[in-house]
Amino acid sequence: MSVYITVICQTCGGSFSRERGRVNENEKLGHNFYCSPVCQRMHRMKRTTLWCDNPDCRREFVKISSDVSACNYCSRSCAVSVNNKKFPKRGTGPRMCARAGCKNIVGSWLKYCSSACRRGVRQKFTKEKLVGLICAMAYRLGRTPARREASDIAFACVYYFGSWNAAITAAGLIPNRSHSQRMYHRTMTKAKDGHRCDSISEAIVDNWLTDPAIAHEKDARYPTTHHRADWRVGGLFIEYFGLVNDSPRYMKALEEKREMCKEFGIPLIELYPDDLYPTSLLAERLRAML
């Protein structure tokens, strides 16, 4: 049998009955009691007279009682002026415009002093000049350059051509495998010794082994499994993990290869993109071991 308790309405002060369970719940949550929805709405819309907490303002204003907080301001500008003094933003301070030759001072949150300076930085390149630079780089490398190898012009290429691969195509070269293709659509690349590689990065490693005439086997099979190592040099396996953290399937295969090398006692050298770009560290990573 339900037990009812008499309570007092917070708005009108009248008494009314409420079930004990509801009373206990309201007291636990700190809620008030109202005899009707009208009284509840009137209490919520009740207004209180306050004075702005900005010491430079102190203007009197009215605020809904339910919105009264520890600090109350008459306007957003007053709140901002006080909070900016209490919590100043950290910045590097004024500095010079990033365009070479411009000596204008800009704020810490800006890079250029004007849109004209920003356009001037982009306009130091033209489509024809970018194509020439890409062709010169390809001639020097003997292959299609990767975007990470041309960080000084990559942004300009994207700005003028829409993408790095579009700039490579405009230069009459064949693009390397794009980032969106991932591990599921591989563009084969041929190394100097004729080995077929899954990417330009693998071709760079393979060519590094070929130049000093280091005998190596491509796609060597792991013992008792279908997995293949990128290279085998004697009893040593070399793997280029170019898509590390790229997909769960790739990471699973990576861990399986590590475990098999431990199980069969095979020395394993792991190479990553940071070992190739922007500067090749293959001499440090491989020469001492090979």
pLDDT(90) > 70: no
**CA 156 to CA 138: how far, in whole Å?**
17
pLDDT of the residue at 42: 81
pLDDT in tens, 186-240: 557 888 888 888 888 888 899 999 888 888 999 888 888 888 899 999 889 999 9
Q: What is the mean pLDDT of residues 82-106?
A: 76
pLDDT in tens, 71-84: 889 998 898 888 88
Q: What is the mean pLDDT of residues 136-162?
A: 84
User: Quick check: pTM over 0.75?
Assistant: no
The whole-chain average pLDDT of the chain stands at: 82
pLDDT of the residue at 175: 82
pLDDT in tens, 150-192: 877 888 888 888 888 899 989 988 887 554 444 444 557 888 8
